[in-house]
Amino acid sequence: MSRVENILKGIAKSDRVAGAYLFLGPPGPEKKEAAEFFTGVLGCPKQDVVSVAPSGATFKIDQVRELQEWTKYGPSAGKYLIAIVDQADALTDQAAAAFLKTLEEPAPGVVFVLLADREDKIPATILSRCQKITLAAGVAAADEPWRAVLLDWLRAGPASDGLQTAARAGRLEQILDAERKRVAEVEGEAAKAEGAEKEVAAARVGARYRAVRATLLKELLLWHRDILMRVLQVETGGFHFSAEAEAQQRQAVGLAPAAALADVRRLEKLIQRLEQFPEASEAALLVAGLPQHVALPRG
């Protein structure tokens, strides 16, 4: 992502930072990684970085109102407050209208960074107020080394008690730790080859790891959304893990719809907490946020 990094470093050095940017690119962690790198080169402290994502399939107006509250006073410690809006192409019409007002009258020092896969899903009124940065396609999702290990972990099914939850959280933490080390090695070597400063290299490693973690947890969320659909006996297709029907159906047997929905909600909350509190204990959040249930006969 050196081309994008150079663009973002140039923006920071010019001291002519716009009020809103659109990072446009294919699905994957690259857009989030670029946004977090941007916060690093702008020198934003943690308390001046806000990250929001859709609650469910769409971005609702209540979330936009929360974002307005978080940003209305501007930065508290640094020069800029960065508001990262993930999946901005999922804004509902009502939410987009409310967000437009925020873009038109931002507080001093507030910079909005919108992340989107599809430009055509964003209203022209919002596009006109953003500087667009297009990201090239990165590594194919299937080539991510953690995916095969995660799939084995998913097939083993959710925990049924507190001890199993702790054990499964520990195994997931091992998967994440291995990926953290791999990212540090790959990004560290790339930064060294480019002669990047130590602070820039650290920002790259941190941003890349958090972006990969977000992608991994999204896969976990999609797995449990598939199970919810199987519990509800949805027959129209649309399963993310369509090749894992047997394993998912086994986990769905005896699971009440309310419990399956609760699993999805727990994971959504886990992802939101990890984004909002990046310095919080990852292990504690995983134990608290992973699905846990005992399948009960339905009928």
Backbone phi and psi for residue 277, each to the nearest 5 degrees, phi listed first: -125, 70
- For the ranges 79-88, 121-130, 196-205, the maximum mean pLDDT occurs at 79-88
Can you give the residue ranges of every domain in the chain? 2-138, 142-289
> Tens digit of pLDDT for each residue in 208-223?
788 788 888 888 888 9
224-236 pLDDT, tens digit per residue, is 988 998 999 876 6
Give 59-97 pLDDT, tens digit per residue: 888 889 999 999 989 999 889 999 999 989 888 888 888
Q: Which structure tokens are listed for 27?
A: 């699905």
* Mean predicted lDDT score pLDDT of the chain: 82
What is the reported pLDDT for 90?
87
Say whether pLDDT at 298 is over 70. no
Output the six-digit token pair for 279: 């310095």
What pLDDT does residue 39 have? Answer: 93
Q: Look up the pTM and report it.
A: 0.53
Q: Which residue has the higher pLDDT, 73 or 293?
A: 73
Q: Which CATH superfamily is domain 2-138 in?
A: P-loop containing nucleotide triphosphate hydrolases (3.40.50.300)
Residue-wise burial string across 260-270, b where 16 or more C-beta atoms lie within 10 A, e elsewhere = bebbbebbbeb
Q: Given this model, what pLDDT does residue 236 score?
A: 60
Over residues 140-155, mean pLDDT = 72
Cβ atoms within 10 A of the Cβ of 239, count? Answer: 18
Task: Find out whether 285 and 261 touch, Cβ atoms under 8 Å.
Answer: no
